[in-house]
Amino acid sequence: MIDPRPLWDFSDPVASEARFRAAVDAATSAGDAAVLRTQVARALGLQSRYDEALAELDAVAADEPEVRVRVLLERGRVLRSSGDEDAARPVFRAAAEAADAAGLDALAVDAMHMVALTLRGADQVVCTREALARARGSHEPAARAWTASLLNNLGMAHADLGEWQRALDAFDEALTERRAASDEQATNAARWAVGWALRHVGRRDDALEVQRALRADLVAAGLSDEYVHEELALLEDPRA
């Protein structure tokens, strides 16, 4: 069945919606068209067009296991984006169970990570660790590809709890994964997170080194990042 990921630009859901609608029209199978329609709904949700997104999902013929999982997953995302996390959580759990039953590891990990994002505190940590273990143990490359994102989420969950050394450990692992994947933008974000956690564990000199090196690399690439500047302002302030 078609992989919709190459059609996504999450920074531009309007253009993504247009691509998915065109792909639906060009689809050569009902299953592919159904998968693509679930992504139309996701793009609508990212534009805060929640009623339209839910109507799109209601109209999808979920005759195949993967389509059923994707309908549940995107319905949960729309509910969460609209602010109803309590309604989204059981839908994500149903998506994870359906993906498990169908042997769809990557979608199961996706659904598990979304369940975690509807939780708080220690519950979020536990659920994120479960998704991470599933990703790392999977035979599917697409499932294993979730590892870096889940490590970042784990770091953020520990940070929310004030568990900064554990956050730093997770961010360090995420950075290693990002570098292995040769994704410069994601690697830079992971570098920032390591520096951020270093400041919070009291290693200010190390944090300063990380953020200065990151700023230099961004400048060399003609880029800038307000979060890097904010961290440097804190680290370079003699009153801090």
Tens of pLDDT, residues 157-204? 999 999 999 999 999 999 999 999 988 999 999 999 999 999 999 999
Q: To which residue do tokens 């302002």 refer?
A: 233
Please check whether residues 27 and 115 belong to one and the same domain. yes
Measured between alpha carbons, how far is 183 from 180 in angstroms, rounded to an integer?
8
pLDDT at 240: 59
Tens of pLDDT, residues 50-75? 999 999 999 998 889 999 999 999 99
Please check whether residues 173 and 72 belong to one and the same domain. no
Please check whether residues 28 and 114 belong to one and the same domain. yes
Please check whether residues 134 and 159 belong to one and the same domain. no
Please say if the pLDDT value at position 238 is more than 80. Answer: no
How many percent of the chain have pLDDT more than 70?
A: 99
Please check whether residues 214 and 122 belong to one and the same domain. no
Please check whether residues 182 and 132 belong to one and the same domain. no
Domain final position from 139, 157, 192: 139
Please check whether residues 1 and 46 belong to one and the same domain. yes
Please say if the pLDDT value at position 5 is more than 70. Answer: yes
Please check whether residues 12 and 111 belong to one and the same domain. yes
Domain final position from 139, 172, 195: 139
Please check whether residues 187 and 232 belong to one and the same domain. yes
Average pLDDT value over all residues in the chain: 95
Please say if the pLDDT value at position 84 is more than 70. Answer: yes
Torsions phi, psi for 224 (to 5 deg)? -145, 155
Domain count, the chain: 2
Domain of residue 192 covers 146-240
Please tell me whether residue 63 adopts helix, strand or coil conformation.
coil
Tokens in use for 126? 């536990």
Tokens in use for 131? 């998704």
Please tell me whether residue 110 adopts helix, strand or coil conformation.
helix
How many percent of the chain have pLDDT more than 90?
A: 95
- State the pTM of this model: 0.91
The b-or-e profile of 45-80 (16+ CB within 10 A means b, else e) is: bbeebbebbbebbeebebebbbbbbbbbbbbbbbbb
The b-or-e profile of 111-120 (16+ CB within 10 A means b, else e) is: bbbbbbbbbe
Measured between alpha carbons, how far is 37 from 24 in angstroms, rounded to an integer?
7
Measured between alpha carbons, how far is 74 from 86 in angstroms, rounded to an integer?
15
pLDDT at 80: 96
Please say if the pLDDT value at position 140 is more than 70. Answer: yes
Torsion of CA 129, 130, 135, 137, to 10 degrees: 110
pLDDT at 239: 67
Please check whether residues 187 and 217 belong to one and the same domain. yes
Which CATH number goes with the domain that contains 9?
A: 1.25.40.10
Q: Are 210 and 194 in contact (CB under 8 A)?
A: yes
31-49 average pLDDT score: 96
Classify the phi-psi angles of 83: left when phi > 0, otherwise alpha if psi is within -120 to 50, otherwise beta.
left
81-106 average pLDDT score: 96
Please check whether residues 116 and 201 belong to one and the same domain. no
Measured between alpha carbons, how far is 74 from 104 in angstroms, rounded to an integer?
16
Q: Output the 3-class SS for 190-220.
A: HHHHHHHHHHHCCCHHHHHHHHHHHHHHHHH
Please check whether residues 59 and 157 belong to one and the same domain. no
Please say if the pLDDT value at position 104 is more than 80. Answer: yes
